[in-house]
């Protein structure tokens, strides 16, 4: 009887694993198994999960017939990829020369205080926000600049960024 239960349980686990990897399998199928498709595959996997979970990197390697070290190497080489979970809103604060001179530091401090980040912490406990300081966002004429997900906000001040963050929090609360 125990052997039958074990066999049934292992089938249930296999079905659960299949479902867990369905989205990634569809992504690989969309781009193909050629090594040249690895970056777009990883980009879309990250879009789905907001980061690249280790188990998904291993699955991509197996599915694309690539060495896990190759997949991991690409995922860690490019700054666009993250192995750590990110928040719903990724806030990139430019600290390039123009933004720094025009006051990006007070904006960064205001953001961190508003979302309650401790020293050394980049993602809020509720996974709503991730804060990153970047070298340049390419919008120097609008300095200081903040990018939230794909939206650029120029001429930021601590007050202006707090208004934007309040709206994002409000939108998140009303979505629940």
Task: List the chain pLDDT tens, one digit each, 176 residues.
Answer: 555 554 544 445 455 566 789 999 999 999 999 999 999 999 999 999 999 999 999 999 999 999 999 999 999 999 889 999 999 999 999 999 999 999 999 999 999 999 999 999 999 999 999 999 999 999 999 999 999 999 999 999 999 999 999 999 988 766 54
Instruction: Describe the crossing of helices 54-63 and 2-31 by its angle, rounded to 10 degrees.
Output: 70
At a CB cut-off of 8 Å and minimum separation 6, what does 173 contact?
none
């Amino acid at each position: 009887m125990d052997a039958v239960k074990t066999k049934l349980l292992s089938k249930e686990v296999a079905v659960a694993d299949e479902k867990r990897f369905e989205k990634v399998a569809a992504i690989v199928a969309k781009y193909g198994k050629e090594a040249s498709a690895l970056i777009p595959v990883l980009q879309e996997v990250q879009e789905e999960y907001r980061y690249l979970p280790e188990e998904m990197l291993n699955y991509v390697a197996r599915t694309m017939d690539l060495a896990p070290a190759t997949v991991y190497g690409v995922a860690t080489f490019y700054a666009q990829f993250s192995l750590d979970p990110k928040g719903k809103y990724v806030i990139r604060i430019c600290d390039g020369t123009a933004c720094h001179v025009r006051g990006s530091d007070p904006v960064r401090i205001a953001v961190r205080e508003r979302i309650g980040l401790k020293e050394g912490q980049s993602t809020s406990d509720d996974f709503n926000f991730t804060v990153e300081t970047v070298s340049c966002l390419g919008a120097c004429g609008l300095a200081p600049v903040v990018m939230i997900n794909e939206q650029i906000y120029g001429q930021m001040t601590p007050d202006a960024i707090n208004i934007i963050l309040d709206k994002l929090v409000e939108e998140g609360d009303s979505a629940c």
